[in-house]
Structure 1
């Protein structure tokens, strides 16, 4: 209810904010009523033709489309005073408007095509209200506008819904396609020495979560004496420098507890004494003792093999570079598993402090 009241308040504020909008621009198909006080025989209604003009007696062709009624009246007056009348007083009004359409799609209750009366501007907030308002899974901070002959852009109306602040509101134009996007899922992945490794969902509208809360949602620390936490950005690839947070016997320090974890980041909780981790969709995820010559297929086998629902063709191999950065590579385990002795595809020998992550299949 509070969100609805704030939305209505913002829409009302928008009306006042745009009350001083520029004059209406005449469009093809509009009908203009023209009156000349000194020559009533010229009075009548004139349709704006496809070429954007009207043909006025004693004046000829007058450009109308894209101009205001004041500009058209001025041109007619000048034309009449050029010969037909010594002085002319001309009034032009739009007697019939061509319908102006725009479209609202996506996460609204009544998506579709809508008409607005030309000359009466409609703001984005009002357009959303006419479409029944936002659905529960709508993201008011990501409203996409597809506009003719312009780049597509995004409008953030979250302040309007949270605080009644309509300062980001804009006019809707003819032909605009408004798409309200779905609220993005907010989650992170936590692997390693925690009670429930895997995906954890952020509660409520949280933009980020403190590291301590993320670890708690993942079941807390498990059998960790001397370790570190590595936080990787979303979809890491190539050389990456993760944020490294050391852990002591008491776990996280007060400063480390509040380190923000952003949506879609990956958090690894690792024991420094462990040289290899095999995580994700394997039967026994966790640490593997390192030995020289250990290969990726052997490590996966020592972790119990692939679990049901694994996407082994998108396995992530994270190794350490000398400068402290991490190299993230995608490995297709399916090819390694199916390779014959004569094939050029060879098993990969692992280096110390390697992390192997077998992701979950998307299907």
Structure 2
């Protein structure tokens, strides 16, 4: 679809059109209006120049419609306007020149002149570029098609989308106006949704899009989703404290194997030294829940499990479930229960704190007779042995 500009003498307002089949007219899109303002004739363009109007002596309307190539040095010719140079002119400037030439050559009153551009040689096209920088997958310059501009969401999609560390709450669009750089800050958090390419402002040639790095912390160790966590992933708007508890939720929470008494916060100080803080989780809450800073590393250690061997369905190492105390009966249940040959009246518990003196527990009495006082609480590092009958 080509571009057309038309103007009638004596009118203060210019109208800008593009041609549809059968020479019907419709308003240009904002992108095409932008192209009209930036395009300049460089020679080699294929154009049709339409001149319509009434001659001074009252003759009937006459139309002149001829497709031609603009010469290499920018000239066009026609019986209604002679030979004129359009080199370096915008479409609207060229329309003014042609209209004045028609008035001078034919004496027509109120001539209407339209220029339809069919094609532009690639080497003569003015480069229309948007630059995308920062936390996107493929930062680059985007060349805009001749008659097309991008909305911000489509621009981000063109560069592969944001990285995990991108701050989509504050994407900046830098634009030069009257020799000054203006910055617009845009919330792009909805742009990742499918079909969102129509969202965001319409970008212009020369715009620079900057996606900055978000506040990020890194989790290692016994969490379900180790790696980078951003403020956005934790659903924390700007100005809200970036608490360890909220970041931990975004990291999937602690694994059962995590040592809830050893959650270490590592922070690099301005003097280059590493500050280390230790935090504990109790009752589902982090004691003295700290405010995190971008760049912090949270290390969750592997806790000591409790080993159970012998006559159970799945011998092995087990960990406390959250803040629930690990009792002997709960451990046996986690291990698949006692086998048919298990001797549950004489279960041995070897304490980490006193390994030389095993404790014998009547687990059958706990389960069948409700002697809950004998259902001892186990500690990380303890070992339990359930003996089995040999016959």
TM-score bracket for the superposition, by shorter chain length: 0.3 to 0.5
The TM-score, its normalising length taken from structure 1, stands at 0.40
The TM-score, its normalising length taken from structure 2, stands at 0.38
Q: Which has the larger radius of gyration?
A: 2
